[in-house]
Structure 1
Amino acid sequence: MKPGIHPAYRPVVFRDKAGDFALLTRSTMTGDRTVDWEDGHTYPVVDVEISSASHPFCTGTARVLDTAGRVERFERRYGPDGGSR
């Protein structure tokens, strides 16, 4: 890689306040704020809207659509072949 053209790759904390969840990882993103982490170091923090701690699919609160009912309703309306002749 050419020196001087790539952004710095450093430890960053991604924090989801809605899910009360934080993750320390490495990234090129930077944050305006910092946070004191469990290891005693201070890292830049990036607040995110949603994470695995607050996403409905990951938390099990997602709604499941009744696709079988939709197929049966379509077949009742248009026939099993979809109305093609």
Structure 2
Amino acid sequence: MKKGIHPEKYRFVVFKDMSNGTEFLSRSTASSSETTTFEGVEYPVIKLEISNTSHPFYTGKNVLVDTAGRIDKFKKRYAQKK
């Protein structure tokens, strides 16, 4: 490996999926002012909106989108006022 191309602050952090509460430990250079306890040790925590534990591609669960309701809302919003 080349020297001097990798970040200096490479450390363990806990990533927390906010949609289902799953936490996993990995290494990262991301900074965080919040901490959490993971398996008895305190680590910085990075909050994620979605991860492989909640994404439909990885879980195999399809998300149903209410297209009919969305179309009705659009038509109502942009209907010409009489």
Q: Give the TM-score normalised by the residue count of structure 1.
A: 0.62
Shift of 1:19: 2.0
Unpaired runs of 5+ residues, structure 1, are 64-85
| Structure 2 unaligned residues grouped into runs of 5+ | 64-82
Work out whether residues 21 and 53 of structure 1, in 8 Å CA contact, stay in contact via their aligned partners in 2.
yes
Aligned-residue offset at 1:56 = 1.0
CA RMSD after TM alignment? 2.0
CA displacement at 1:30 relative to structure 2: 1.5
The residue aligned with 2:33 is 32
Which protein is bigger by CA-based radius of gyration?
1
Letter in 2 for 1:48: L
Q: How many residues align?
A: 61
SS of equivalent to 2:15: strand
**Cross-structure match for 1:81:** none
Q: What's the TM-score, normalizing by structure 2? A: 0.64
* Aligned partner letter, 2:32: G
Distance of 2:38 and 2:61 partners within structure 1: 30
Q: What fraction of aligned residue pairs are identical, expressed as a percent? A: 42
State the match for 2:22 in structure 1: 21
Regions of 4+ moved over 3 Å: none
CA contact (8 A) 2:15 2:23 kept: yes
